[in-house]
Amino acid sequence: MNLLIDTNIPLEIILNQERAPEARELLSRGQVHNFFLSDFSLHSIGIFLFQRKQRSGFRFFLKDMFARIGMQVKGLGVEDLDSVIKASEHFHLDFDDAYQYALAEKFNLTLVSFDADFDRTDRGRKTPDQI
C-alpha cells in the first residue's frame, strides 16, 4: 500500500507521546508498504527540531526515516497549489492539511494521520492501527 505519512505520525514518535507505539509499529512495516512524506512535513519537522536546538535529532530522524525505513519524499509544484486552495475551501482545512490532502490526491496515496480533520474529506484518513 502507498501511504502518505502525515506530520503528526513522526512527531508522535519524536515526542514519545501516547500513540507513539502505534506509529512505530506502522513504520516498522516498510517491507509491506511504501511510505511517503510530504516535503512540507519534512521541513516542518526540521523547523520543529531546530527551534528546540535538536539538530542532531533531525539528523537522526533523516537517517531513521530515509535510510532505515525507506521513506520517500513527494511534493507539490507551484502549478499544484490551486488544488491546495480548493481543498482548503471545500473541506475547511488549514494550509498544512490541505497540502497533505492535495498531495495524496495527486499521487493517489492513502493518508495516514491522527488528525480527524481529514475525516470530513472525500479521501478520509487511516490511523496507523487501521493499516
pLDDT of 50-99, one tens digit each? 999 999 999 999 999 998 899 999 999 999 999 999 999 999 999 999 99
In the chain, the percentage of residues whose pLDDT exceeds 70 is 100
pLDDT of 10-28, one tens digit each? 999 999 999 999 999 999 9
Report how far residue 41's alpha carbon sits from residue 8's, in angstroms, rounded to the nearest whole number.
Answer: 9
Residue 30 above 80 pLDDT? no
- The phi and psi torsions of 104 (rounded to 5 degrees) equal -60, -40
Domain that holds residue 82: 2-130
Give the pLDDT confidence score for residue 121 in this predicted structure: 97
- CATH number (domain holding residue 66): 3.40.50.1010
Amino acid (one-letter) located at 38: S
Give the pLDDT confidence score for residue 31 in this predicted structure: 82
Report how far residue 91's alpha carbon sits from residue 10's, in angstroms, rounded to the nearest whole number.
Answer: 24
Give the closest residue to 111 by CA, choosing from 127, 121, 125: 125
In the chain, the percentage of residues whose pLDDT exceeds 90 is 93
Count of domains forming the chain: 1
Give the pLDDT confidence score for residue 117 in this predicted structure: 96
Reported as a pLDDT band with limits 50, 70 and 90, residue 29 is confident
Give the pLDDT confidence score for residue 68 in this predicted structure: 87
Q: What is the mean pLDDT of residues 96-113?
A: 98
**Given the C-alpha cell 490551486, which residue does it identify?**
82
